[in-house]
Amino acid sequence: MRPVDIIGVGITNFGKHIETSLVELGGRVAIEAVKDAGIKPSQVNAGFFANMQAASIFTDFTVGQNVLWQAGINRVPVFNTENACTSGSSAFNLAWMGVASGMYDIAIVVGAEKLVVPNLGLMQAGSTELDTLEGLVVPNAFAMRANLHMATYGTTKEQLAMVAVKNRRHAALNPLAQFRTPITVEEVLNAPMIADPLTRLSCCPNADGAAAVILCASEYSTRYTTKPVRVAASVLVTGSYENPCNMAQWDADKRASGIAYEMAGIGPQDLNVVECHDAFTISEIVHYEGIGLCPEGEGGRLVESGATSLGGKIPVNPSGGLLSKGHPVAATAVAQIVEGVRQLRGEAGACQVEGAKVFMAECMGADKAGDVKTCTVNILQN
């Protein structure tokens, strides 16, 4: 396997795109990424498109071909991929494998999602499953995790809320984020209850959005850009489904990040900036522990210390995270990588982590019971 760089990125704002179709959203970021990479569309050897909800909401299929055609990319292999919240990073992992293997020199990854429609779909994900029919939808499953984490490790409701407050503070600096007005711990705690202890401000909002990256064999990347960003590790694992397990810890995070650290030849202490999958406030805290930013059970105290704020020791979700940007499912994990590229290029604007050299994107796809179906960890390096 040969080294691979990211040479171009594209992203929309996350929010309501009522007048824009899924194909247009995806096409827009594909065009932007091709332009950013300084390549011609005909130089792209393969396309990997990620989407989760188009089939169930719009009965649309094989969307990636239409999306890439908008950018002048056709005839070459195009794959449509779905892997829950890691749909985008799964497409990225496949594209990385394609380029690293020598099969393709240049590949594009596009993640796009339209969620802001009357028939949402997400809350009924897996309606054939008994646990969902009985009420175990996603927020409930994460609320149970939060309660267990509080009971086991002494994490407080205030610490949970601090995740939302921190990420909103970051989002205020990101013009592409959906919600940018700063909030307080009290506001989070007093927001309408969704599933105790998770209030509305503890849960990520819906959004439409799209993001794209272009991967290139490192041996060719400087032909196109003066700022290639190296993919130091790309890892995808599946949940273990093992019982008994500790529902307040994520084994998949530990396995995926462990493999990624080994691939990159680094450890958690070497990270300068992280984007992780903060679908709920509790998620970010458990991810801290899973990827090794702090010992098991210390996640609540880590956010309280300020270490994961911009200006802290290891800023997490400088973009504002899912909690403030929203969660256009298949765009989310690609957007994390776009943020990483901007950080390592020094182009992250007011969200910039000074001198960032090593970035991690963590994303996880869980079912309603909180079982982890997929987990991805990508490390980028300058």
95 closest CA partner among 264, 255, 217, 256 = 217
By beta-carbon proximity to its own copies, the closer residue of 131 and 304 is 131
How many residues interact with its own copies (rule CB under 8 A)? 52
Q: Is residue 100 near its own copies by the rule CB under 8 A?
A: yes
- To the nearest whole angstrom, how small is the minimum distance from the Cβ of residue 2 to its own copies? 10
- Catalytic: which of 17, 216, 327, 351? 327
By beta-carbon proximity to its own copies, the closer residue of 29 and 84 is 84
- To the nearest whole angstrom, how small is the minimum distance from the Cβ of residue 90 to its own copies? 6
Q: In whole angstroms, what is the distance from residue 160 CA to residue 197 CA?
A: 9
Which 207-236 residues touch its own copies, going by CB under 8 A? Answer: 236
279 closest CA partner among 374, 336, 205 = 205
Question: Is the four-CA dihedral 86, 90, 91, 96 of positive or negative sign?
Answer: positive
| One residue of 30, 39, 52, 71 binding its own copies per CB under 8 A | 52
Q: In whole angstroms, what is the distance from residue 92 CA to residue 370 CA?
A: 24
| One residue of 27, 28, 53, 216 binding its own copies per CB under 8 A | 53
By beta-carbon proximity to its own copies, the closer residue of 107 and 163 is 107
By beta-carbon proximity to its own copies, the closer residue of 27 and 315 is 27
Q: Which residues of 11-47 are buried (b: 16+ CB within 10 A; e: fewer)?
A: bbbbbbbeebbbbbbbbbbbbbbbebbebebebbbbb
By beta-carbon proximity to its own copies, the closer residue of 11 and 366 is 366
Q: Is residue 113 near its own copies by the rule CB under 8 A?
A: no
Beta bridge partners of 380: 231, 359
DSSP letters spanning 178-199:
S--S---HHHHHHSPEEETTEE
Which 30-49 residues touch its own copies, going by CB under 8 A? Answer: 47
| One residue of 16, 38, 43, 55 binding its own copies per CB under 8 A | 55
| One residue of 16, 20, 60, 189 binding its own copies per CB under 8 A | 60
Q: Is residue 241 near its own copies by the rule CB under 8 A?
A: yes
- To the nearest whole angstrom, how small is the minimum distance from the Cβ of residue 125 to its own copies? 6
Which 307-366 residues touch its own copies, going by CB under 8 A? Answer: 365
Q: In whole angstroms, what is the distance from residue 71 CA to residue 235 CA?
A: 28
User: What track of x and - describes contact with its own copies for positions 358 through 377 (by CB under 8 A)?
Assistant: -------x-x-----xx---
Residues contacting residue 368 through CB under 8 Å, at least 6 positions apart: 125, 126, 129, 131, 132, 136, 137, 138, 140, 141
Can you read off the two tokens belonging to residue 309? 């704020």
Q: Is residue 238 near its own copies by the rule CB under 8 A?
A: yes
Q: Is residue 125 near its own copies by the rule CB under 8 A?
A: yes
- Catalytic status, residue 327: yes
DSSP state of 43: G
- Catalytic status, residue 85: yes
Q: In whole angstroms, what is the distance from residue 84 CA to residue 330 CA?
A: 7
Helix (H, G, I), strand (E, B) or coil at 76: coil
- Positions that interact with its own copies (CB under 8 A): 1, 21, 47, 52-53, 55-56, 58-62, 65, 68-69, 74-84, 90, 93-94, 97-98, 100-103, 121, 124-128, 236-241, 255, 365, 367, 373-374
Name the residues annotated as catalytic: 85, 327
